[in-house]
Chain A
Amino acid sequence: MKKLLTMLLLSIALILAACSGQTGGESGGDGPVEITYLKPGADDPDTRERVQDIIDRFEEENPDIKVKLEAVGWDNAYQKLVTGFNGGSSPDVFAGGSRWMTAFADMGALLPLTDMASEKIKEYPEALQQSSQYKDEIYAIPRAFSARSLIYRTDLIEEPPTTWEELVETAKTVQEENEGMYGFAISGAAHVSTTTQYFNYLLQNGGEVFDEEGNVTINSPEAVEALKYYTDFYTEHKVVPNPVEYNRELLPVLFKEGKIAMYVIGPWGKSLMGVDPDNEDTPYASAPLPKGKKMANILVSDSIYVSAKTEHPEESWKFIEFLTSLEEQKEFDKSNGSLPLLTEEAKDPFFKEDPYFSTFVDMIEHGEPQPMPAVWEPFQDVITTAVQRALDGEDPQTVLDDAAKEIKEQELEPK
């Protein structure tokens, strides 16, 4: 009987062991400490290579720390991280949208960096310092930062449009003159770029998503007018390819293929197109956004975070310090195509003199921060659904009323 029991227990133990999979891993002995770094967007081979280069340089300087790169697409990063915080494993250090900070901090997923970063954070402009803090703790270190400009074909358009009306006119003219080409392109896919692109027009029309008290104002007359202008490109003027199929990452491809003559993007558009402004097939230049009632554009930033679950906070911080050091940050911004982040870095002549980059640098002045809903992702879903419904021909007022109602129901207002 005893034997039988032992055998039973043994077999159960074996099954359980098989189920539970590998646990343990490397012991914290003498060998180098390994930390993981999750970088959204590194599924793209070029980005991956650039990030790996930075890691190699870091490992050379710090032989006792090994950094393992986890590459995921922007599409999956948020989901992967949230799932990891709740029971799974999460990377020690990770990059991501600054828009995620409040939700992550509330979930207790972020390690407060106040002790380590209180000096470092002063190297950044005031606006970024503020957006890295939440409830009196520093949770994030700014990583990349961008404004928006208009990219246009210099061989087809002599003078870039400067107002909303001119933008429509120019788009129509180019489209008529060039067979098989659209005058402009907008984003309408379920993707963050649909919200930021629409918000540019919203801000330019004097609207806002939330007012100062945090009430939803997304169905204000200004917002409705802006949505109508945005969707009219497709429904009324027919100067853009079907937006529902396109997000920001695909527009540069369309432009490079010569399918569109203008589009709006951040400074990384250049690296996504993969060609220089004066290339032969599709020469282009950047211009300030055509302005509505006023000039405005949305400023979007990414940050680096440390997971609350990390066993190596010091090594993680060391890695962040290296990533964001003046030299590395400058290198990163130039190759990634993001705007100078550190106050010291902005003094580099490269960002002022390069004709492509300087437009974006100038646009910072007209920049307004992203809205800060309690949780970004469901908020983004609500907005993209509204935009897609309007693109499908529904009345902008109705869809934005529904969006406002939805935001209230889900309690997504800023806290």
Chain B
Amino acid sequence: MFKITSYTKASDTNMGVKKRSMRFNISPEKSPFFYLLPLILFMLIMVAYPIGRILYISLTSNIMTRPDLGVQFIGLENYANLFTSMAFWETVGRTGAWTALSVGGKTAIALGIALLLARDIAFKRFYLILLMIPWVTPMVVAAVTWRWIFDGQFGMLNYILMQVNILQEPYVFLGHKMSAFIATAITDMWLGIPFLAMMFLAGLQSIPVELHESASMDGASKLQKFIHVTLPMMKPIILVATTMSGIWTFNSFGVIWPMTHGGPVDATQTLIVQAYKLSFGSFDLGMGAAIAVVIFIILTICTVLYKRLLMRQEEL
């Protein structure tokens, strides 16, 4: 509105000329800056500042509950401590293995579900709704529910396994290192499958029918069609979807914490769990922040890879 008024005034007075030039100053090339300014400020406060602060904290020795030890700037010492500690590298390896197990399982199962749902079957809509249930379940609710399913004394899984005589006495799934590792990964799979299945289903439906038809005419078997037609066509979408799922799984705190708190001993302690334990369990902010930064770096690399994949997909 004010633009129009200044324009009309500008027609005869000297003042108007000045105003006109000012109006020109802020538009059109530079005006986007002003429109973006609120959001830039918002992002600076809500995103850039916390990241900068974490970077700074990771360079200090700062234990909140130990004012007697003081807060000191110690440079890269926290990182040096981390990288020379065996336990840290074990955690990195464990996080990688857990992510691989969970994402691998998710991808295989989701692909199977997508293949089934891509066919013309009865009650398809019903199955789709069923598939959505894990997606709409809050993560912590799901984790707590699964914790009780795996419980050693009152758990549903033990009950079923004992009814069919696979187990003679209850097995405490979350009380043993290996089984707890797998049980948490299964829970994470359950939560992540709907997203991947939907992506794969969309991918399957985008494959032109002609390709399958011509393959059939050439005498390809079902398996050959899957390997030589479906998979190559799906490759971009599989790569993109699993990379995204991998990033989420890597940071999956809401599953592990309610189920095991990273235990028994540290069998399910991933990087994010360790960062949380250090920052909010022992309140060792420096070390906690250092791990957070390491996670940030690892995930940034993953995101760059993901972006490259996306680019290549667009070239296709």
- Tell me the A residues contacting B by CB distance below 8 Å: 1, 3-4, 8, 11-12, 15, 19, 79, 82-83, 86, 103, 106-108, 189-190, 241-245, 254, 257, 259, 374-375, 377-378, 381, 385, 388-389, 391-392, 410-411, 415
Contacts and interface: CB of A to CB of B under 8 A. Distances in A.
B191 to A, nearest CB: 22
B212 interface: no
B151 A392 contact: no
B151 to A, nearest CB: 7
3 residue pairs, one from A and one from B, having the closest CB atoms: A242-B172, A242-B175, A244-B175
Given A259-B153, A378-B281, A244 B46 contact: no
B23 to A, nearest CB: 8
B151 A245 contact: yes
A310 B124 CA distance: 61
A4 B174 contact: no
21 contacts: A4-B26, A8-B34, A12-B38, A12-B41, A15-B41, A15-B42, A19-B42, A241-B153, A242-B152, A242-B175, A243-B175, A244-B172, A244-B174, A244-B175, A245-B172, A245-B174, A257-B153, A375-B282, A385-B266, A388-B264, A392-B177
B69 A411 contact: yes
Interface in B170-192: 172, 174-177
A106 B67 contact: yes
Given A4-B2, A11-B38, A82-B283, A375 B175 contact: no
Nearest to B1: A3
B297 to A, nearest CB: 26
Contacts of A244: 172, 174-175, 263-264
A83 B279 CA distance: 10
A82 B64 contact: yes
B37 interface: yes
B315 to A, nearest CB: 40
A22 B134 CA distance: 35
Given A242-B152, A259-B153, A82 B172 contact: no
A372 to B, nearest CB: 14
Nearest to A79: B280
A145 to B, nearest CB: 24
Contact of A107 (B26, B65, B264): B65
A242 B283 CA distance: 30
A219 to B, nearest CB: 18
B286 to A, nearest CB: 13
Nearest to B45: A19
A32 B202 CA distance: 62
B235 interface: no
Contacts of A410: 282
A79 B257 CA distance: 15
B264 A15 contact: no
Contacts of A243: 175
Given A79-B280, A377-B282, A378-B282, A388 B265 contact: yes
B67 to A, nearest CB: 5
Interface size on B, as a range, is 35 or more
A189 B45 CA distance: 40
Contacts of B283: 82
Given A82-B64, A257-B153, A381-B282, 17 more contacts: A4-B2, A4-B26, A4-B34, A8-B38, A19-B45, A79-B280, A106-B68, A108-B67, A190-B261, A241-B153, A242-B152, A244-B174, A245-B152, A374-B66, A392-B264, A411-B66, A411-B69
A4 B64 CA distance: 45
Contacts of B174: 244-245
B121 interface: no
- Interface core residue of B34, B46, B151 (most chain A CB under 10 Å): B34
Contacts of A257: 153
B22 interface: yes
Contacts of B172: 241-242, 244-245
B74 to A, nearest CB: 15
Given A8-B37, A12-B41, A242-B172, A19 B282 contact: no
Contacts of B152: 241-242, 245
Given A15-B42, A79-B280, A245 B175 contact: yes
A107 B69 CA distance: 11
B64 A107 contact: yes
A79 B278 CA distance: 12
B155 to A, nearest CB: 10
Contacts of A377: 65, 281-282
Interface string B278-303: 00111110000000000000000000
A8 B37 CA distance: 8
A103 B38 CA distance: 42
Nearest to A388: B265
Contacts of A4: 2, 26, 34
Nearest to B177: A392
- Interface core residue of B65, B177, B282, B284 (most chain A CB under 10 Å): B65
A106 B283 CA distance: 14
Contact of A106 (B41, B66, B261, B282): B66
A360 to B, nearest CB: 27
A7 B280 CA distance: 41
Contact of A103 (B2, B65, B153, B176): B65
Nearest to A103: B65
A244 B66 CA distance: 29
A377 B277 CA distance: 11
Interface in B103-158: 151-153
B187 to A, nearest CB: 16
Contacts of A411: 66, 69
A142 to B, nearest CB: 22
Contacts of A385: 265-266
B38 to A, nearest CB: 5
A19 B46 contact: yes
Nearest to B265: A388
Given A375-B66, A381-B281, A389 B265 contact: yes
Contacts of A189: 263
Contacts of A391: 264
A22 B17 CA distance: 46
Contacts of A242: 152, 172, 175-176
A388 B265 CA distance: 6
Contacts of B177: 392
A375 B284 CA distance: 12
Contacts of A374: 66, 68
Contacts of A83: 280
A301 to B, nearest CB: 20
A314 to B, nearest CB: 27
Contacts of B26: 1, 4
